[in-house]
Structure 1
Amino acid sequence: MHMLYNSDSFIVVQFDVPTDVPQAVEEGPQINRGGFEIVDKFARKEIFIEGALAESFSQGVQALIEDGEPSEDELDAFIERYAVMGQQPVVMH
């Protein structure tokens, strides 16, 4: 678990769970199970994304970073596109 982002609006945490399946180097990158948890602090909702959606999220963040140093507002606007799908209420224990 790695906290990737924490602003006044959102928290993004990455979960990587390596698989136990051995993979040859020629076959490409190591397969991981995991994804991203996005918490919308204002809406008090969260979503866990994995698979193709998580890959799309990761590529979008990388594109923002490659274009220069994105502002907090730019990152929040990007993250919001995924956070609006969150339906799970955040519950404190």
Structure 2
Amino acid sequence: MHMLYNSDSFIVVQFEVPLAEADTGPQLNRGGFEIVDKFARKEIFIEGALAESFSQGVQALIEDGQPSEDELDAFIEQYAVMGQQPVVMH
């Protein structure tokens, strides 16, 4: 688990879970990203193709230069609006 981003609006955490090494090839990984919308108090976990799309979008923002917090928040919000799971504090 790696916290990748923490702003006033969002938290993004990356999860990587290594799977057992396959007999015929390299080790496989499974994981995704948890996005927490602090204002809506909802979260979403994305994996697979959606997580890959998210990762590629973040990389594109970084490659274009030093993105501002507002630019990153606007990008993350596109995914965060799909969140339906309420954040529960223990």
Q: Cα distance 1:59–1:43, how it changes in 2: closer, same or farther (>3 A)?
A: same
- TM-score where L is the length of structure 2: 0.91
User: What SS does the corresponding residue of 2:88 show, helix, strand or coil?
Assistant: coil
Q: CA deviation at 1:62?
A: 0.2
Q: Cα distance 1:45–1:66, how it changes in 2: closer, same or farther (>3 A)?
A: same
Give, in whole Å, the separation in 1 of the partners of 2:88 and 2:25. Answer: 39
Which one of 7, 17, 41 corresponds to residue 44 of structure 1? 41
Deviation digits for residues 11-54 of structure 1, max 9, x if unmatched? 00000001xx6669x99975311100000000000000000000
Percent of aligned pairs with the same amino acid: 90
Give, in whole Å, the separation in 2 of the partners of 1:54 and 1:65. Answer: 17
Q: CA deviation at 1:86?
A: 0.0
The answer for the alignment partner of 2:13 in structure 1 is 13
Give, in whole Å, the separation in 1 of the partners of 2:24 and 2:60. Answer: 25
Alignment RMSD (CA, Å): 2.2
Contact 2:37/2:43 (CA < 8 Å) preserved in 1? Answer: yes
More strand by share: 2
Give, in whole Å, the separation in 1 of the partners of 2:40 and 2:65. Answer: 29
User: What SS does the corresponding residue of 1:22 show, helix, strand or coil?
Assistant: strand
- TM-score where L is the length of structure 1: 0.88
User: What SS does the corresponding residue of 1:28 show, helix, strand or coil?
Assistant: coil
Q: Give runs of ≥4 in structure 1 deviating > 3 Å.
A: 21-24, 26-30
Contact 2:11/2:35 (CA < 8 Å) preserved in 1? Answer: yes
Give, in whole Å, the separation in 2 of the partners of 1:62 and 1:30. Answer: 24
Give, in whole Å, the separation in 2 of the partners of 1:73 and 1:41. Answer: 15
